[in-house]
Amino acid sequence: MIRIKQSLLAVFGLLFLAGCIADLDVTPGDPNAFLADDFYSTPDSYRQGLAGVYANLSITGTTGPGSSNISGIDAGTSQYGRGLWNLQDLATDEAIWTWENDPGLAPIQRSTWGAANVLLRGMYGRGMAQVAFANEYLRQTANPKLDERGVSGDLRSDIAVYRAEARFLRALAYYHMMDLFGKAAFVTDSDPVGALQAPQAERPQLFSYVESELLDIMDILIAPRQNEYARVDQGAAMMLLAKLYLNAEVFIGQDRYSDCIRYCEQIINSGYTLAPEYLNLFKADNNENNATPEIIFPVLSDGIVTQNYGPTTLMINGQVGSQEANGSDFGVNSGGWGGALRVTRQFSEIFLNGTYDTDDRNTLITSNRTIEVENITDQTTGYIIQKWSNRRSDGSPGSSLGIVDTDFPMFRLADVYLMYAEAHLRGGGGTLAQATSYFNDLRIRANNLNTILESDLTLDLILDERLVELHWESHRRQDLMRWDRFVGNAYNWSWKGNAVGGIAIPAFRAVYALPSESLAANPNLVQNDGY
């Protein structure tokens, strides 16, 4: 296993150069704490520097989970995976957050967000910080720098792989910015350090850039499943390409489903396997239990070393019922976060339609609860779930009762199976028999006896199955966008549009507003229409 968890905190501060990221609404650390040539004086330092780039996905600051280098907001709000979860899941039919006095949360789940929303600021700032950290690492490992330091031989070959990983992390950030905001400030390692007011790139440019970067680094990256856990390999790059192509009609109005199928097939043939037990994917030892061969790329969490208030800490503590006080079942304090999270009526109805009665993925708790959340502040209403856990697969608890050990599986094989089935039905090729087989594999794994025939497979069925298989894994908003059910009136869920039963929301909400602070810092950025 990789030692990234042990390295993250030690080197996270190394990339905060004075002026390097000031234009990205990020507060740099002490510029005297980092001298590049001094740091890169040993062979191990290049690997440690890479760990600092990875760190931005997990931790928020250099002095523990309560610190953040995104200025002016709560540390948890600025965590990468949590920001992604807020904007992909909380904004949909998958979750309802009880405590609406928490800044920014009510407008996200009520579809009323604007440019001043702190959750948008947190995600945009964290995404641009990822770009800045990757850029600085790439500057410090460019050939002229290596020549100056006399780097040669095997170390130089290793650094080439490290650089490819950093480029992937930068491409991943731009992919998320393209998806969520539709545009971003565009800056690379070719731009000078501290370059202010970077030009704006919109979806066509970002799509082409992400695609070209992934294709360019593919043969440099280590083969699928051959790198250390939690480091990027070719499988992760294939996955991001497949996701890019699956959503190409939304992003750039082009049909790229055949390309999606091609990369899905490559991933499936690369040695990944479904976890024998679905729920082991979401336990405290998912970095080493029998679920690990399904995980293509995770975001790390650790109750002792890599502490963060990220998505798994949020979900495990949040899913604890206010009246059930069942936190000990999940390896956290019995009261958890006091009933912070429930699910919507529409979410529950999919699980209760008779198809998923014996399904391991159906973890609903319904006793003494109403299915509808008519009053968001009443945490006893609405069903709750038990998907995520801070207990290990042998039942023992994680290392801490507050911050969890459970890694967040950003990409995993089950998603690839459903992507293949969807892309096939959308005309991307492959075969109906294979698509149906992959669909059934997921039901069989979950002990669901309701397998389907080829004639049963439809896009609507796949959309529901994606919710069942992938809920609370930061996919739902993007999925609803592909089905034209996020904005408009085609599908309404509880509290969409700030109404109990849900109402239509305008088309401009297909992308989020650029944060006010980012607009003020960079006049090249133009606000999205409608905000």
- Name the one residue in this structure whose structure tokens are 């080197």: 11
Q: Structure pTM? A: 0.95
Exposure class string for 95-110: b at 16+ Cβ within 10 A, else e: bbbbbeeeebbbbbbb
For residue 33, pLDDT over 50 is answered with: no
Quick one: pLDDT band at residue 162, thresholds 50, 70, 90? Answer: very high
**CB-based burial of residue 45 (10 Å sphere; 0-12 exposed, 13-18 middle, 19+ buried)?**
middle
For residue 3, pLDDT over 50 is answered with: no
Number of domains in the chain: 1
For residue 499, pLDDT over 80 is answered with: yes
Position 79 in a domain:
yes
Position 76 in a domain:
yes
Position 502 in a domain:
no
For residue 26, pLDDT over 70 is answered with: no
Position 281 in a domain:
no
- Name the one residue in this structure whose structure tokens are 């034209």: 484
- Looking up residue 138, the CATH number of its domain turns out to be 1.25.40.390
**Distance from the Cα of residue 293 to its chain's centroid:** 19
Quick one: pLDDT band at residue 139, thresholds 50, 70, 90? Answer: very high
Position 210 in a domain:
yes
Position 165 in a domain:
yes
Element (H, E) at 200: strand 200-202
Position 482 in a domain:
no
| Residues 6+ positions from 429 with CB-CB distance below 8 Å | 257, 258, 261, 423
Position 389 in a domain:
no
347-398 confidence digits (pLDDT tens): 999 999 999 999 999 999 999 999 999 999 999 999 999 999 999 999 999 9
For residue 20, pLDDT over 60 is answered with: no
203-250 confidence digits (pLDDT tens): 999 999 999 999 999 999 999 999 999 999 999 999 999 999 999 999
pLDDT at 196: 64
For residue 309, pLDDT over 90 is answered with: no
The residue range of the domain holding 159 is 4-229
4-17 confidence digits (pLDDT tens): 444 444 444 444 43
Which of 9-23, 166-180, 299-313, 468-482 is least confident? 9-23
Q: Both tokens of residue 67?
A: 């610190």
278-293 confidence digits (pLDDT tens): 999 999 999 999 999 9
